Amino acid sequence: MRGFFLKGMGGVLFLSGLFVTFAIVGRRMEWELPAWRHAMATWDSLLVLWIAWMVQTHFASRNRKVAATAMPVGLALTAACWYAPQAYDVGLVYLHPLVALWFLDRELGRRRPEWRGAYRACLACVPLLLGAIWWRLGNAPPLPGGQDMLVMRIQNHAGAEILSGLSPHALVSTHTFLEMLHYGVWLVAVPLLSLKVAPWRLPSAPLIRRSRAWRLGVAGVLGAGLLVVLGLWAGFLADYALTRDVYFTVAIAHVLAEVPFLLRTF
């Protein structure tokens, strides 16, 4: 799988870097709304074509029909990126949390198939909980401070600008709920499912046992991750708006990284 993951991680780095570049250049040059939409449509198009390429690569020897249709479907979706760029971006906001739930289902099928039935029963509750959110907040007034730039960015990120007929309060709550499930899968469920040793017994982890260099490397990555977490919390306390923008700009990498790992489960 070396070639597959080289393409995958190369795409993650390239698309993440391009996203950050658009964000920095756009703010410095004070792009108008049409320029922003063209930039994001370009990025969305490259994202779709990269996913199509990954599907084509992965299924070339497994399912030739899927491999043959990957690029035509990708080109059709690319046209949709340019036809309705805002709707496309909002769709990604709400669909990408569901990828984590799909990934967990695939992992349970491989590692704990006896748990899969209970997990799917829990998933059946998600539409009911979303329905409860909309029943409670469907007619709720906008968030307090709705004219504040930070509040407006939060609402627009949840789709309030394009879904103008719906309650921004309900949209933000829906987005928050789905993101909670998304991070719960990656930060809690998948690690607990994958670990064969207690997480606090780091020297027993299989990756660390390979060599001393791997042990030092993994320890360094974990230490850097801890520093980033502390830095983020300090940033949120000092300047929430700026830190939120930085976080959401850089966090695009973890969304992209889900693609090759999800395909790997098929």
Q: What are the pLDDT digits (tens) for 221-239? A: 889 989 988 999 999 999 8
- 168 and 108 assigned to the same domain: yes
Q: What are the pLDDT digits (tens) for 6-49? A: 888 899 999 988 988 888 888 788 778 788 888 888 999 999 99
Ranked by mean pLDDT, which of 56-60, 145-149, 163-167, 190-194 comes out on top? 56-60
**Mean pLDDT score, 96-105:** 88
- 146 lies in a domain? yes
Q: What is the pLDDT of residue 235?
A: 92
**Mean pLDDT score, 235-244:** 87
Chain centre distance of CA 126: 18
- 71 and 163 assigned to the same domain: no
Number of compact structural domains in the chain: 3
- 265 lies in a domain? no
Domain boundary pick from 179, 194, 209 = 194
Q: What are the pLDDT digits (tens) for 123-147? A: 999 999 999 999 999 888 878 876 6
Cα dist from 223 to 65, 205, 220, 228, whole Å: 45, 16, 5, 9
- 67 and 166 assigned to the same domain: no
Question: Model-level pTM?
Answer: 0.78
Q: How confident is the model at residue 207 (pLDDT cuts 50, 70, 90)?
A: low
- 8 and 70 assigned to the same domain: yes
Containing domain of residue 113, as a range? 85-194
**Cα(99)–Cα(3) distance, rounded to whole angstroms?**
23
Residue 31 tokens read as 């792009």
